[in-house]
């Protein structure tokens, strides 16, 4: 009996100590100037004097929760580095940083946002995906930070517009990257190929690669978003970026003949076996393998492709603008922008704003541009330090008439999901026109339901 009691007491003590250690915040020593009234005796009289003294007080660190989707090795390292830099510079804050796998993060974000104590700062996509949360009052208005940090002047108008709803700023866009067709210089040189600029040239390049036993285009569609890039580009090149964006916003129909033209062009590539076999067996990064070994010639990808390639082939890597199919059509490019926001229910808005101000500073953006080769949004970042690829990417986007984000960022996620299913099924059996029409009709009915369009 006595032993039992002892055991219970022990258990309780252990539990309590666990809870207590969990609650104990980290502290820092801060020097504060304190004003005190002291009574001094001067010549027999008692006088009150106001004295200022420096005192050292023990202050609890302010805790800040930061969830990030930078889960690829290189961005993750940079992300952790930035958090450390922030804490070194502002020791009064203690950032609790969690990195969540990119795909999982997208799935968990609504649970984060609706929690009673959500993460204070989170990474996210600019544009429609952020707009949805802003409309649902889940993102904090940070116009004061934009004003206070001078971002209103320092950020290009386009990025400011991307972050604003009704004249208030909610989002901090920090970096963006371009999409392009990446290719292996050595493979092209070996076969005497030039980067194509028109569709006919592109088909010719594919044909030459194929004749020489190479896979013209690699792609991994296990996660289906890679197919979205092909739809985006074919649609923008054939029908123009305006039609594309209207389609994304639910204003145009998927049953439009113009959409069918996209699938016709796509079918040409599929029927000629220009894409890698068994694409659905690979993730986007697994599909890099034949590209690295030189068995595959090209890969339509965002510039984050660089994060996952071995350094040895960096010098052998180059990219070109997705070929022009109709010179009369305006040029649209995908250039997704990433950034940060503060949750509307943030428990530490002051700390969160301080962190956001730091993330949007020239210092951090310069660091990111150097370390990861992303393009910064802050005009204060010295553009002369950009490497050749960044300069070329910048020129690519500067030469575009219209910049889109990406298929699953420009339209609503549930429509994008169904759309990507259509792409996948089409990919598997491109000759089945009847089935394609049926799927597009289904997709369009759903588009109307989701967007509430006529």
Partner 1 sequence: MVRLRRNFLPYLFLAIPIIIYLVWVIGPMFYTFYLSLTNWDGLSSPQFIGFRNYERLFTDRVFFLSLTNNMKWLASFVTVPVVLGLALAMILNRAVPGEKFFKMSFYMPMVLAMVVSGLIWGWLYHPRGGLINSVLVGLGIVEKGPGWLSDRDLALWSIIIVAIWRQVGYVMVLYLAGLKSINPEYLEAAKIDGANDWQVFRKVLLPLLMPVSVIVLVISVIDSLRAFDLVSVMTRGGPANSSSVLANYMYIQAFNNYRMGYAASIAVILFLISLVFIFIYLWRVMQDELEY
Residues paired with residue 165 on neighbouring β-strands, in sequence order: 168
- CB of 177: closest distance to partner 1 in angstroms? 23
Which position among 158, 414, 431, 437 is part of the footprint of partner 1 (CB under 8 A)? 414
Number of other residues whose CB lies within 10 A of the CB of residue 199: 18
Contacts 24+ apart (CB under 8 A), 445-448: 446/414, 446/415, 446/418, 447/250, 447/253, 447/254, 447/415, 448/250
Residues 6 or more apart whose CB falls under 8 angstroms from that of 168 comprise 141, 143
Which position among 27, 84, 98, 136 is part of the footprint of partner 1 (CB under 8 A)? 136
Q: What is the C-alpha separation between 406 and 57, in angstroms, rounded?
A: 51
- CB of 137: closest distance to partner 1 in angstroms? 9
Nearer to partner 1, 195 or 290 (CB): 290
Q: How many residues does the chain have?
A: 454
Q: What is the C-alpha separation between 53 and 63, in angstroms, rounded?
A: 28
Nearer to partner 1, 84 or 432 (CB): 432
Nearer to partner 1, 256 or 417 (CB): 417
Counting contacts by CB under 8 A, is residue 281 touching partner 1? yes
Counting contacts by CB under 8 A, is residue 432 touching partner 1? no
Using alpha carbons only, how large is the chain's radius of gyration in Å? 28
Nearer to partner 1, 85 or 424 (CB): 424
Which position among 76, 102, 106, 392 is part of the footprint of partner 1 (CB under 8 A)? 106
Which position among 90, 223, 402, 451 is part of the footprint of partner 1 (CB under 8 A)? 223
Counting contacts by CB under 8 A, is residue 346 touching partner 1? no
Which position among 211, 273, 326, 428 is part of the footprint of partner 1 (CB under 8 A)? 428
* Angle formed by the axes of helices 433-451 and 257-271, nearest 10°: 130
- CB of 83: closest distance to partner 1 in angstroms? 27
Q: What is the C-alpha separation between 195 and 61, in angstroms, rounded?
A: 55
Task: Kindly state the helix (H) or strand (E) to which residue 238 belongs, with its residue range.
Answer: helix 225-239
Counting contacts by CB under 8 A, is residue 195 touching partner 1? no
Counting contacts by CB under 8 A, is residue 111 touching partner 1? yes
- CB of 56: closest distance to partner 1 in angstroms? 46
Counting contacts by CB under 8 A, is residue 221 touching partner 1? yes
Q: What is the C-alpha separation between 426 and 270, in angstroms, rounded?
A: 10
Counting contacts by CB under 8 A, is residue 290 touching partner 1? yes
Nearer to partner 1, 248 or 403 (CB): 248
Q: Which stretch binds partner 1 (CB under 8 A): 107-115, 206-214, 240-248, 327-335?
A: 107-115
Which position among 67, 68, 99, 138 is part of the footprint of partner 1 (CB under 8 A)? 138
Residues 6 or more apart whose CB falls under 8 angstroms from that of 339 comprise 123, 124, 125, 126, 163, 171, 172, 173, 174, 175, 377
Q: In what order do the strands lie in the sheet with 317-320?
A: 215-217, 296-302, 179-184, 317-320
3-state secondary structure of 197: coil
Max alpha carbon distance in the chain (Å)?
108
Number of residues that bind partner 1 (CB under 8 A): 29
Nearer to partner 1, 29 or 434 (CB): 434
Burial of 55 (0-12, 13-18, 19+ CB in 10 A): exposed
3-state secondary structure of 139: strand
Counting contacts by CB under 8 A, is residue 63 touching partner 1? no
Let me know: does 231 contact 263? Beta carbons within 8 Å: no
Q: What is the C-alpha separation between 296 and 424, in angstroms, rounded?
A: 21
Residues 6 or more apart whose CB falls under 8 angstroms from that of 54 comprise 31, 32, 33, 34
Counting contacts by CB under 8 A, is residue 113 touching partner 1? yes
Which position among 80, 141, 242, 425 is part of the footprint of partner 1 (CB under 8 A)? 425
- CB of 280: closest distance to partner 1 in angstroms? 4
Nearer to partner 1, 133 or 146 (CB): 133
- CB of 266: closest distance to partner 1 in angstroms? 15
- CB of 453: closest distance to partner 1 in angstroms? 17
Which position among 124, 206, 427, 447 is part of the footprint of partner 1 (CB under 8 A)? 427
Site of interaction with partner 1 (CB under 8 A) = 106-108, 110-111, 113-114, 133, 136, 138, 221-224, 277-281, 289-290, 413-414, 417, 421, 424-425, 427-428
């Amino acid at each position: 009996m006595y032993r039992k009691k002892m055991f219970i007491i022990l258990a309780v003590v252990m539990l309590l100590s666990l809870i207590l250690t969990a609650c104990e915040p980290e502290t820092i020593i801060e020097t504060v100037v304190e004003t005190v009234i002291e009574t001094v005796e001067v010549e027999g009289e008692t006088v009150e004097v106001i004295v200022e003294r420096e005192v050292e007080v023990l202050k609890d660190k302010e805790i800040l929760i930061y969830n990030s989707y930078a889960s690829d090795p290189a961005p993750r390292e940079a992300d952790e580095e930035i958090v450390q830099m922030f804490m070194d510079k502002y020791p009064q804050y203690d950032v609790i940083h969690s990195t969540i796998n990119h795909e999982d993060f997208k799935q968990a974000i609504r649970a984060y946002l609706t929690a009673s104590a959500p993460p204070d700062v989170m990474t996210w996509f600019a544009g429609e995906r952020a707009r949805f949360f802003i409309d649902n009052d889940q993102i904090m208005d940070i116009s004061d930070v934009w004003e206070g940090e001078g971002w209103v002047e320092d950020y290009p108008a386009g990025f400011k517009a991307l972050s604003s709803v009704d004249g208030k700023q909610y989002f901090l866009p920090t970096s963006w990257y371009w999409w392009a067709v990446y290719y292996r210089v050595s493979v092209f040189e070996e076969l005497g190929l030039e980067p194509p600029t028109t569709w006919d040239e592109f088909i010719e390049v594919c044909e030459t690669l194929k004749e020489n036993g190479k896979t013209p285009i690699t792609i991994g569609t296990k996660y289906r978003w890679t197919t979205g890039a092909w739809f985006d580009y074919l649609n923008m090149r054939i029908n123009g970026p305006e039609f594309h964006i209207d389609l994304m916003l639910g204003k145009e129909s998927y049953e439009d003949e113009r959409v069918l033209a996209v699938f016709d062009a796509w079918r040409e590539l599929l029927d000629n076996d220009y894409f890698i076999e068994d694409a659905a067996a690979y993730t986007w990064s697994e599909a890099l393998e034949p590209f690295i070994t030189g068995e595959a010639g090209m890969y339509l990808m965002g510039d984050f492709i660089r994060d996952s390639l071995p350094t040895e082939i960096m010098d052998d890597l180059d990219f070109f603008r997705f070929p022009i199919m109709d010179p009369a059509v305006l040029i649209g490019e995908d250039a997704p922008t990433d950034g940060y926001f503060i949750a509307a229910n943030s428990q530490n808005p002051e700390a969160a704003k301080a962190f956001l101000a730091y993330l949007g500073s020239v210092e951090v953006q310069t660091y990111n541009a150097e370390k990861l080769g992303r393009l910064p949004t802050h005009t204060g970042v010295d553009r002369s330090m950009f490497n050749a690829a960044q300069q070329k990417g910048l020129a690519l986007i500067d030469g575009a008439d219209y910049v889109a984000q990406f298929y699953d960022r420009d339209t609503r996620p549930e429509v994008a999901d169904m759309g990507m299913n259509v792409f996948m099924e089409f990919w598997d059996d491109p000759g089945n026109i009847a089935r394609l029409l049926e799927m597009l009709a289904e997709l369009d009915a759903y588009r109307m339901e989701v967007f509430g369009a006529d």
